[in-house]
Amino acid sequence: MSALLIGDEAPDFEVDTTDGVIRFHEVIEGSWAVLFSHPKDFTPVCTTELGMTAKLKDDFDARGVKVFGVSVDPIDDHRAWIGDIQETQGVALNFPLIADPKREVATKYGMIHPNANDTLTVRSLFVIGPDKKIKLKIEYPASTGRNFDEVMRVIDSLQLTAKHKVATPANWKSGEDVIIVPAVSDDEAKEKYPEGWKTLKPYLRIVPMPK
């Protein structure tokens, strides 16, 4: 199938995980979700990534985000690996790891790049909205661990801009000023932002982040 794009519906699937069998669309119903792949169990970068994800559970929970890891390794390998993650990263795994030995999930989400490796997934990450549409897609090579500060930053932006007619500028972080989108007229902006905004150009209007 062709590569998934932002705005496409996230494919559904039923799989075994370290938390039992799940139907993906059922467990994410009404929630934001992150689905991310790691190339292989018992590998160094993946071990640090899963440990970091576990450490960030409170941050994901505060944003209403459900997290799922996936690789093409079988469930027994996942369960054996959990002890290594806790030993080396100092945190117990607290989210489901999907076993995908038949590559069903990897194929539906385009996580295997033949030019890199025709059997292992690259480091793909998808943020999925409550409407089950893909809101973000990031891919890293197998050798480079993800920047989870960036993942959190983008989730904050996606959730803010889903509720308000604003966009976030380069390097934006939660709490900083945002941009009023061009589709909002000045008259409409006056109703939304009675305290005013800063106009740099007619198309570039800066306003404090909506509460």
pLDDT over 70 percentage in the chain: 95
Q: Could you give the CA distance from residue 178 to residue 206 in angstroms, rounded to a whole number?
A: 6
Task: Give the confidence band of 116 by pLDDT, cuts at 50, 70, 90.
Answer: low
pLDDT digits (tens, 9 = 90+) for 29-66: 999 999 999 988 999 999 999 999 999 999 999 999 99
pLDDT at 113 over 70: no
Class of domain 14-145: alpha beta
Report d(CA 20, CA 204) in Å as an integer.
49
C-alpha–C-alpha distance, residues 71 and 46, integer Å: 10
Neighbours of 24 (CB within 10 A): 22
CATH architecture of 164-207: 2-Layer Sandwich (3.30)
Q: Tens digit of pLDDT for each residue in 165-207? A: 999 999 999 999 999 999 999 999 999 999 999 999 999 999 9
Enter the tokens of residue 115: 């030019």
Burial class of 199 by CB neighbour count within 10 A (0 to 12, 13 to 18, 19+): middle
**Would the CA dihedral through 91, 35, 42, 52 be positive or negative?**
negative
Q: Give the global pTM.
A: 0.93
Give the percent of the chain with pLDDT over 90.
86
DSSP string, 19-80: TEEEEHHHHTTTSEEEEEE-S-SS-HHHHHHHHHHHHTHHHHHHTTEEEEEEESS-HHHHHH
End-to-end C-alpha distance for the chain, whole angstroms: 41
Catalytic site residue 100?
no
How many residues are recorded in the chain?
211
Domain range list for the chain: 14-145, 164-207
Check whether 151 has a pLDDT greater than 90: yes
Kindly name the residue from 10, 35, 46, 67 that is annotated as catalytic: 46
Q: Would you say residue 3 has pLDDT above 80?
A: yes
- What tokens appear for 40 in the block? 């292989």
